[in-house]
Structure 1
Amino acid sequence: MSVTTETIAGWGTDFMTVHHVTASGSQADIGRALALRARLAYGWTPAPADRATARARRAWFARHWPQHLERMRGAGRALGVDIEADEVHLDGLTGVPTGSACSAGYYPPATTLDGRPFLGRNYDFFTTSATALFALVSGSPAPDGDEPPMSSRPHVLTCAPDDGPATTLITMNELDGCMEGINEHGLAVALLLADVESTSAPDVAGPQVGLSSTQLPRFLLDTCASAAQAVDALLGAKQYDLGAPLHYLVADRSGDAFVWERGPGGDEHVVRSDGGALCVTNHPLRRHRDPADLPADNPETALTYQRYRTISERSQGTDLSGERMREALDAVQVDSTTDTPYPLRTLWRTVFDLERTTMATRFYLGDAPDGTPRHSPEREFAVPVPHLR
């Protein structure tokens, strides 16, 4: 087993500090390392569990996602907890509050100058603490105290297990799920808020049997090598939301890509690429895909339609590239001048090269005096090559 931790962005008074954790060994070894890191970084402790639910979750993971179950087993060993007792949940599950905004796109090989596929995304989220955000949304008085912003301690995780595909991913505030990532097969996944116009409050019932919102990308990276396999896996998987509903851009190095969405009644939708670039923001793509025929934005939509129109228009043709992806993402970043009632920023911008299985990311460090965002230098992370592990 090998574990290293490195600070890769942020220092002093910067908005965020980003750590890169690299772990190799068995899945249980990796789970143990991530549990210890979560306890150190976030003060994580296992949540009490209903025994029947915990037992059913273990059985589901054993059948469909054994890699995660083994990491839970390793977390239990790190804390001296018997996973078979079913007294606590040995994975950390949190929701993504309503109001976040993200933009993403995929360029298949047929559309790029060098024939390499790229997936890019802006991760847009709140710059407040969870308590301050609740006060803002509910109209309550602003809280006292120095609770850190929810998004101020993200991690890049590079995992090279003995018994599964290597992965490189980014997670905002939990180490057993991810916001986006890529595996050694060149499969990449990114999650985004699915419906900013939804007015119904999400049910938050705690961990359930199946995949939570932020576990779903990690599940695909652990178990699939292609977009086609990912469709089959999702159609066969039990899923639930913890917080606002999300949708997912999934793509592989061959040129196959889709957006996975679920309706309020649990109906499932695979919105496939038509051979060109596939873009997505924060409205259901199955309802509004044509950039020329979009509803008007309002204060609650976080400019999802405007961002979708812009990134789609910038992603046309057969002369696309990683740099064109960066330019399109920068054109829709959220900063202090963006017209939204919430304290949102583009917290990081990521571009995946699916052929080379790399992830290049820059992070938000705060606003300059003139209000423009400050970023860390872009840094590239490679998925470990199987024969070199």
Structure 2
Amino acid sequence: MPIAREIVAGGDADFMTVPHLTATGSQVEIGRAYAEQARRVFDWTPVRADPVKARARRAWFARHWPQHLARMRGAAEVLGVDLEADEVYLDGLTGIPNGAACSASYYPPAVTVDGRPVLGRNYDFFTTSETDLFALMSGGPVPGGDERPIASRPHVLTSVPDDGPATTLITMSELDCCYEGVNEHGLAVALLMNDVDNVTDPPEPSPQVGLTTTQVPRFLLDTCATAHEAHEALLGAKQYDEGVPVHYLIGDRSGDAFVWERGRGGDEHAVRADRGALCVTNHFVHRHGDPADLPEDNAESLLTYRRYRRLSELSSGPDLSASLMRDALDAVGLDATADVAWPMRTLWRTVFDLESATMTTRFYLGDAPDGTSRFSPELEFAVPVSVPR
């Protein structure tokens, strides 16, 4: 199995180090590569499983997402365990801490100057370690120390399987999941938190049958070619949260796009723009989608309404472009000067060209003396065409 690893951004002197892992071959071989990388970088080990639940999860994946089950088999081979014994969970389900703030938008080809559809996002997240973040959220003193920040080792993953579409994606820590990505068909997905509309405490992280929040984007990229197919797949897929609720921006090269949201009672919403750009930040768009009629931000909202209003204003013209999208995302990004109570930064900014199935990203490296952020150069990652089947 050909596999390539390289560091594409950052290093020991920067906030983050970003590896790019490219794997080709069967899904089992790709899963083996992910497990080896997870052990190498994150010291990953599986957790003990409830055998009944683990068996039910395997059955669900076999029916609905066989690519993921095959990659779990590759992880089992790395560990030397029997997948069918159902003794451990062989995928990384760790949940997401409360409070991330992200912004994203989609421009259909009908409103771009070159007729190319683009989808872009800021990934805004904490700059602290897991221990320090827990202390902050608990209202106690921050211990400090040498523990690495949670988001200091994101990965770019390119997969070229022999039994499905090729994909390029970014994940913060779980190598079998996805925070945003694009496949060879020109379908792109971005995950965003929705802490504002969460009215209950998050459950204890525990793998369930179906898809957890960070698996949904990877599931769609593995199994769908269009936004229409993604909508149907989401309607038919069992989904659950392991932390704060999330929602997703999903778009394709034809001009079709929607925001997928699951409400408090489990009701599901696919929100489409009547025309023009489709924007999303960290609140329910199906409840507050009109930029002219938004609630006021508070300390907990992480400027979601302000960012949504501004992003919508900057994306309202008829002559949009990838360049304008970059400017709009920069205008709502978070750096040391942002008026938020938490230690957060825009950790990367990504723009997808869905016509060419390319992903262009720059990564946060640290703060400049003036409070602005230092970023890597923009890096372009193309999605290879998968092996003919």
Residue number in structure 2 paired with 1:35: 35
Q: How many Å apart are 1:244 and its aligned residue?
A: 0.5
Tell me the amino acid that sits aligned with residue 55 of structure 2: R
Q: How many Å apart are 1:371 and its aligned residue?
A: 1.3
Residue number in structure 2 paired with 1:371: 371
Residue number in structure 1 paired with 2:308: 308
Counterpart CA distance in 2 for 1:341 and 1:290 is 26
Residue number in structure 2 paired with 1:82: 82
Counterpart contact for 1:249–1:260, Cα < 8 Å: yes
Tell me the amino acid that sits aligned with residue 51 of structure 2: R
Tell me the amino acid that sits aligned with residue 74 of structure 1: G
Once the two structures are superposed, the pairs formed by residues 102-113 of structure 1 within 5 Å of their partners are: 102-113=102-113
Counterpart contact for 2:188–2:251, Cα < 8 Å: yes
Q: How many Å apart are 1:96 and its aligned residue?
A: 1.6
2:325 paired with 1:325 = yes
TM-score by length of 1: 0.98
Residue number in structure 1 paired with 2:233: 233
Residue number in structure 1 paired with 2:296: 296
Q: How many Å apart are 1:274 and its aligned residue?
A: 1.5
Counterpart contact for 1:247–1:259, Cα < 8 Å: yes
Q: How many Å apart are 1:388 and its aligned residue?
A: 8.3
Residue number in structure 1 paired with 2:264: 264
Residue number in structure 2 paired with 1:140: 140
Q: How many Å apart are 1:196 and its aligned residue?
A: 2.2
Tell me the amino acid that sits aligned with residue 237 of structure 1: A
Residue number in structure 1 paired with 2:53: 53
Name the SS for the 1:363 alignment partner: strand
Counterpart CA distance in 2 for 1:337 and 1:388 is 50
Name the SS for the 2:67 alignment partner: helix
Residue number in structure 2 paired with 1:155: 155
Counterpart CA distance in 2 for 1:205 and 1:113 is 45
2:220 paired with 1:220 = yes
Counterpart contact for 2:160–2:385, Cα < 8 Å: no
Counterpart contact for 2:94–2:205, Cα < 8 Å: no
Q: Deviations over 1:74-114 (max 9, x none)?
A: 00001101000000000001212111100000000001001
Counterpart contact for 1:120–1:352, Cα < 8 Å: yes
2:199 paired with 1:194 = no
Tell me the amino acid that sits aligned with residue 204 of structure 1: E
2:95 paired with 1:95 = yes
Name the SS for the 2:254 alignment partner: coil
Q: How many Å apart are 1:144 and its aligned residue?
A: 4.6
Name the SS for the 1:81 alignment partner: coil
Once the two structures are superposed, the pairs formed by residues 2-13 of structure 1 within 5 Å of their partners are: 2-13=2-13
Counterpart CA distance in 1 for 2:35 and 2:383 is 22
Counterpart CA distance in 1 for 2:90 and 2:201 is 27
2:384 paired with 1:384 = yes
Structure 1, 377-386 or 67-76: larger mean CA deviation: 377-386
Tell me the amino acid that sits aligned with residue 68 of structure 1: H
Name the SS for the 2:287 alignment partner: coil
Name the SS for the 1:317 alignment partner: coil
Q: How many Å apart are 1:199 and its aligned residue?
A: 4.3
Unmatched 5+ residue regions in structure 1? none
Residue number in structure 1 paired with 2:117: 117
TM-score by length of 2: 0.98
Counterpart CA distance in 2 for 1:195 and 1:286 is 15
Tell me the amino acid that sits aligned with residue 106 of structure 2: Y
Q: Deviations over 1:249-276 (max 9, x none)?
A: 0000000000000012211111112121
Q: How many Å apart are 1:11 and its aligned residue?
A: 1.6
Counterpart contact for 1:256–1:273, Cα < 8 Å: no
Counterpart CA distance in 2 for 1:381 and 1:38 is 21
Aligned positions, number:
389
Counterpart contact for 1:194–1:261, Cα < 8 Å: no
Tell me the amino acid that sits aligned with residue 263 of structure 2: G
Tell me the amino acid that sits aligned with residue 317 of structure 2: G
2:169 paired with 1:166 = no
Counterpart CA distance in 2 for 1:86 and 1:246 is 29
